Structure 1
Amino acid sequence: MISCDPSHFSLAHLSQVTIKRETRRPQEINLPSHINLSKGPPHHQFTQPSQLPTITKPVTIQPITEGTKNGFFKEEEFPNGPPLRFATTYFLRLAELKPSIEAAAMEAWDGTEIGGDTVQRANRVLDVRQGEICWIVGTIYMDMPLKPNILDDITKHNWIAAPPPRDKYMTPGEDQVMLEDESGRVKLVGKMLEKEYLVTGAVIGVMGTENKDGDFDVVDVIVPHLPPQENLLAIGKGKGRREGGKRKVALVSGLGFRGNAMEDFETELLAEYLLGEIGGVEDQESASKITHLIIAGNSLAPSIALPPVKGEEKHKKYGYDSTTYNANPALALDNLLTSLLPSIPITILPGPTDPANVSLPQQPLHPAIFRNAKSYIASCLHTTTNPALLDIDGVKFLGTAGQNLDDVYKYVDGEDRLGMCERLLKWRCVAPTAPDTLWSFPFEDKDLYIIRECPHVFFLGNQEKFESRLVEGPENQVCRIILIPKFSETSEMVLVDVDTLECESVKFGVENGGS
């Protein structure tokens, strides 16, 4: 059923592969037998809202322009007054992405005939009529019973046991897919949806017709595809970019420092490898080409209490035990950075277990965390945001600490995380589920999660294992997707050649009692 209540759009309560473009010409499409194109009155009734809710001024976020042009968003001021409406983020996303999807839909579906009727464009969800084949653009909203909601937060606040965290939000047979725009909402149905990755916040175009139940029966789906990109050869003209193998960027995530001696061995091997102090001639030659190190979040492990000291009396403050601060994890991270600087420039992103704000975009780690390494912040140590957009010698790196992918994973059936990352690029949105199930600042003027320029490297940290895929777009875009494993669990680092976009993993450890 289609509804027009504006509050429904408040979603906050809420290895190598080549992708080739398929240009579809006007064609005959066999409609599923259960779809009836007989003309009839619209199944829905509605009243047009006279005025949309007033939105207050949001947090102002500015890109970071210093150093390696690293950063995606930087917080400059905090909002005052009434709380912001998170639905604004989705309105802005739809408004910006809608033209590109409409252009793709016109090219793919213009002149297409189904059952003798030519496919028409519906400007709004409320313009859909029963029995008329049409296409419409809108924002996906997943209505899932197992998805987190405000009631869970209330139960936690009232000291009632909340439901345990879930690996997936899916409930077969109960989940519903909605398509929304500024006018209303319609439920999507059809076998075609089973072939698509769909999450809240993704902006797509769908073709189909309204059935007798008032639902929109989908027969085809279209997405924006990869955004424009500056060609690598154009960037590296005259710099030998065709040859490759001359410059590499190292990526690591999930160092997970706890400050104990057990973790020192692997991280010491990591530091010595980056400095060219271990390994054979081939390893040292490879290390000599590393021009930059990116640490993609979760450098510190989740906070743990220090073991009690026998005979030591705990001090009380306002009737409660005083907080005990464990500086060992931060000191271990600082020691690693200090040993590498200034030999290798380092960019470090915050992650969900690091001392930074929880909501995306996470702000850069505070310099006070780095007792000794902070002296290099003005030169070769760059603390940046999460997500981060980096420009390293003309090569665009877009990356996160992995929260966005982990949240998308909970919406869809399957384990293909590389395919999910590919969808993020095609949706042109790095965090589509924010702020519905992924905490985020609300934005009023601009959705900063939109990918406006296709990166050359798209990395996501703190994943279970190393995976990589090369994606190519219809306009010669090329992007290397990299899933960076947790170093604390796998002892793996990733090297990517910025000239050829080839990548490999390097694993540290001892085998059979040898080195």
Structure 2
Amino acid sequence: MIERKITYQHSFIGQQFIAKLDFTSQYHSLYCARLKSLKYRCISADESGYFSLSEIMEVKVNQSCLIAGIIVCTYADRSSIVEKYISKIGILADRKQSTFYNRRKEEDFIYLEDESGRVRLDLKQYFDWENLITGLVVAVRGVMRENSVLEVIEIFYPSADPPRPLLRKGDEFICFISGIEIGNPSLDPILLNLLSNFLQGNLGNDSAEVAKNIVRFVILGNSLYKADKENSFEQKAYSDISADIVPSISKSLEFFDTFLAELAGILPVDLIPGEMDPSNSSMPQQPLNPYLFPLASRYSALRSFPNPYECKIDGIHILCTSGQNINAIMQFIDTQDPIKILELTMKWRHLAPNAPDALGCIPMQDDDPFIVEDLPNLYVVGGMPNYQKLVTEEGVHCITIPKFTSRQQVVLVNRFTMESETLSFVSVIQGMNNC
């Protein structure tokens, strides 16, 4: 077994994602906190300085104005709450759709809403309107027309502090994995055994040279498998699943506990929940209970964190999610490329703008935890179809982590340079099968 020296300082800075599971409140306060926090950042992004901020109800016909508010989109193809309830009890067939976006629908409208009221937007002169979704906070410069429609000339997004410059170089790596889905019939258990042996340096000298430079292991959600019949468009919590699959979940937890114990014995492991895991289904998901892992929790190297997960390693800012926020956004915009949506969330300064509209979230009262106060150096999202990477204009390194069950890949990220690469176990297992 190889030896590692952990010389860096790791600090968890995502305290805003630790929340009390209280669902007795309404979401009005969450939207108010979001608007209050981001509206003046939008104004600072307006470099003209010519327009002063107006409220919607104050603007007169043919008056030029600058208004900050929350985007509200309507979709003719989207089922109403009443329709969802009727389909759930079996009276009406559910309109199962992967996307609600359709630029050809004349019934689809985009509004801007502030504390005083709501106005419909005319975006014919604005080319980037396809990527506007409900929940975004923006400032809109335009002219109010006689039909009470605001003709948009320009849109300003919130500003944020740039990432910290990367000045150091080195060969230490953080290993990211997502979608292990233990209990999935398509998962070959030997893959996890290979992964464990690789990290321990037991797959030969060449592999050991790579493995000894991996100084942290991050698991981004969906570590346990939940059958398709237990999944739905409206995600269910573990408390709602049928009793007949409880034994299989228990067996999967036992296997996962053993796997975690092997890893936590050799390097730090960060465990983040996903939509299939035994945590609350609403965002932010709370850390997985250590009592689920009696063997692995004996090691201090195993730490359970919320989803989203935010930390600093030697001052380098890292932000991660398990992918629910990206999947929720993808249903409502023209862009279907996950890495482009990661870039958009950094542009919007918000991880999940359509929560709670299309993504369940805890009704926070005092603040919105999904606001991106400072841009991270590294933004990683798990549960995606493929590995992709992109560097935004501001210098944020965005990376998507593929589902391990589908791609048999982990992603190694250099903690100094943010450069990344995949490590595939497909060729290894194919070679073993040919023997």
Which residue of 49, 64, 68 maps to 1:137?
A: 68
1:397-419 per-residue CA deviation (whole Å, 9 max, x = no partner) reads 11111000001111111323222
Runs of 4 or more off by more than 6 Å in structure 1? 320-323
The equivalent position to 1:221 in structure 2, one of 151, 155, 172, is 155
Residue 37 of structure 2: aligned partner: 96
Aligned partner of 1:12 in structure 2 is none
- Decide whether the 8 Å contact of 2:43 with 2:156 is kept in 1: no
Partner of 1:369: 292
* Partner deviation per Cα, 1:77-134 (whole Å, 9 max, x = no partner): 4548xx31212211111111111111111x1x334xxxxxxxx334211222221222
Unaligned runs of 5+ in 2: 1-8, 230-241
Give the structure 2 partner of residue 127 of structure 1.
58
1:156: how far off?
A: 4.4
Match of 2:226 in 1: 302
Residue aligning to 1:342: 265
Alignment equivalent of 1:195, drawn from 98, 118, 128: 128
Cα distance in 2, alignment partners of residues 321 and 224 from structure 1: 46
What's the CA shift for 1:160?
2.6
Cα RMSD after superposing both structures? 2.5
1:175 maps to 108
Choose the corresponding residue for 1:443, options 322, 339, 364.
364
**What residue in structure 1 maps to residue 183 of structure 2?**
258
In the alignment, does 2:41 pair up with 1:110?
no
Identify if the C-alpha distance between structure 1 residues 70 and 250 changes in structure 2 by more than 3 Å, giving closer, same or farther. farther
1:461 is displaced (CA, Å) by 0.7
Q: Is the 8 A contact 1:425 1:451 kept in 2?
A: yes
What is the DSSP-based 3-state SS (H/G/I as helix, E as strand, rest coil) of the residue aligned with 2:389? strand
**2:202 corresponding residue in structure 1:** 277
Provide the aligned length of Structure 1 versus Structure 2: 408
- Alpha-carbon distance in structure 2 between the residues aligned to 1:292 and 1:416: 28
* Structure 2 CA distance for aligned equivalents of residues 480 and 284 of structure 1: 27
Conserved in 1, the CA contact under 8 Å of 2:10 and 2:311? no
1:206 CA displacement: 1.5
CA distance in 2, matches of 1:181, 1:488: 44
What one-letter code is carried by the residue in structure 1 that aligns with 2:370?
Y
Q: Is the 8 A contact 1:227 1:451 kept in 2?
A: no
Give the TM-score, by structure 1 length: 0.74
Q: 2: CA distance between counterparts of 1:84 and 1:334?
A: 36
- Following TM superposition, by how much is the alpha carbon of 1:74 offset from its aligned partner in structure 2, in angstroms? 5.2
Distance apart, 1:277 and its partner CA: 1.9
Matched, 1:431 2:352: yes
Structure whose residues are more often helix by fraction: 2
Any conservation in 2 of the 1:298–1:352 contact (CA below 8 Å)?
Answer: yes
Question: C-alpha separation between the residues in 1 aligned to 2:267 and 2:428?
Answer: 28
Scaled by the length of structure 2, the TM-score of the pair is: 0.87
Q: Secondary structure of 2:152's partner?
A: strand
1:225 to 1:356, Cα distance in 2 relative to 1, 3 A:
same
Q: Sort the Cα spacing of 1:121 and 1:387 in 2 relative to 1 into closer, same or farther, 3 A.
A: same
Once the 2 structures are TM-superposed, how far is the Cα of residue 367 of structure 1 from its aligned partner? 1.5
Q: Which residue of 2 aligns with 1:470?
A: 391
Q: Which residue of 2 aligns with 1:146?
A: 77
1:218, CA displacement in angstroms?
1.1
Q: Structure 1 residues 274, 144: closer, same or farther in 2, change over 3 A?
A: same
In 2, are the aligned partners of 1:252 and 1:484 still within 8 Å (CA)? yes
Structure 1 CA distance for aligned equivalents of residues 355 and 301 of structure 2: 32
Distance in 2, Cα, partners of 1:259 & 1:244:
37
Percent sequence identity over matched residues?
29
Give the SS at the match of 1:412. Answer: coil
Greater Cα shift, 203-212 or 222-231 = 222-231
Residue 447 of structure 1 aligns to a residue in which SS?
Answer: coil
The C-alpha deviation readout for 1:164-202, integer Å capped at 9, x for no partner, is 432111133221111111111111112344424211111
Residue 395 of structure 2 is aligned to residue 452 of structure 1: no
Name the SS for the 1:329 alignment partner: helix
Offset at 1:256? 0.6
Q: 1:244 aligns with which of 162, 165, 170?
A: 170
What SS does the corresponding residue of 1:138 show, helix, strand or coil? strand
Gaps of at least 5 residues in structure 1 are 1-65, 112-119, 234-240, 306-319
